[in-house]
Structure 1
Amino acid sequence: MTRAVIAFGANLGDREATIAQAAAELADTPGVELVAVSPVYETPAIKLSGVDHDAPGYLNGVLLVETELAPLALLDVLQGLEQAHGRVREERWGDRTLDLDLIDYGGARFADARLELPHPRAWQRAFVLQPWLDVDPDAVVAGRGTVAELRAAASDEVRRR
């Protein structure tokens, strides 16, 4: 079994219900054991152009899982859950009903056309780092440092719900 960190976010629809249902569905996935669910944080939307206070805000957090699935197989599960919950991919960093990102997979470094591990921007994002720190205070982002140090340096706005 490998420990994986999955970031979740939603800013459209019934955000709380969608996140709860997706977490339950992930926990019911063969080869995946849900270990921890972080507190939920509210954050403004971030678009390619920067923070968009006019867009609906996000609920964000992380899930820790233990999995027998390989990284790309886990990514397939996550993308299937997104699609089942109405995720539409029309605009990069656009509004969404559900976003599930594989952030870390046992500290592995990996890159191909579909997946980069660790997630290439997670080390800069308080909306990933803060909930990750809440559930795993000793976590490390491979090649970047401890989550605690990275969180201290991240300046994006996060507010616990």
Structure 2
Amino acid sequence: MAESLGSRMVSRSSVYVTAPWGHTDQEDFYNAIIVAEDPSWDRWAWLDFVQRCERNAERVRQRHWGPRTLDVDIVSCSDAGEQLTSSDPNLTLPHPRAHQRAFVLVPWLEAEPAATLLGVPLSEHLDALPEGERAGVRRLCDQTEWFV
């Protein structure tokens, strides 16, 4: 995925490992954030792109929050510097509960330290989470060592 973004990719995080969420009877999750930008793409173009990436990876998902080959989420989307909000069932923005999930915030903060979510710096959202949840996000490899 990072490769297919080409010059649209602004930055990316390291890869992090976390215990499974939802159904815990599965392998650990691998999490990373890619920050991308293309003023000619709207949120629907980004959604189409990430869904194509999932199809190309032959995504298999047997159950909600269950194991899958790849899960790409659009956490936040901006237009002319303004963070978009949407309650459309096909694309809710920002991603629901992103501000409550260390496995989203830790890699995102690495990739985009000045980012905000819902008008609040990511670091403040992260500081509000229980220490155990933050400590459960472990770095596997840095951003120069992976391509998706």
Contact 2:13/2:110 (8 A) holds in 1: yes
**Per-residue CA distance 1:107-159 (angstroms, 9 max, x = gap):** 1111212011110111111111001111221211125x210011112232210
Q: For structure 2, list consecutive stretches of 5 or more residues without a partner in the other structure.
A: 141-148
Measured in 2, the distance between the counterparts of 1:148 and 1:72 equals: 28
Contact 1:109/1:142 (8 A) holds in 2: no
- 1:149 aligned onto 2:124: yes
Q: Which amino acid aligns with 2:123?
A: A
TM-score normalised by the chain length of structure 2:
0.82
Measured in 2, the distance between the counterparts of 1:61 and 1:72 equals: 21
- Counterpart in the other structure of 2:115: 139
- Counterpart in the other structure of 1:65: 36
Q: How is 1:1-20 mapped onto 2 (pairs within 5 angstroms)? A: none
Q: CA deviation at 1:102?
A: 0.3
CA-based RMSD of the aligned residues comes to 1.5
Q: For structure 1, list consecutive stretches of 5 or more residues without a partner in the other structure.
A: 1-21
- Counterpart in the other structure of 1:18: none
- Counterpart in the other structure of 1:77: 49
**Per-residue CA distance 1:69-108 (angstroms, 9 max, x = gap):** 1101211110111011011233111111111100111111
TM-score normalised by the chain length of structure 1:
0.76
Count of aligned pairs between the two proteins: 131
Measured in 2, the distance between the counterparts of 1:41 and 1:113 equals: 28
What is the percent sequence identity of the aligned residues? 37
**Per-residue CA distance 1:39-77 (angstroms, 9 max, x = gap):** 111011111x5xx1x411111010000122110121111
Measured in 2, the distance between the counterparts of 1:57 and 1:94 equals: 11
Which structure's residues are more often strand, by fraction?
Answer: 1
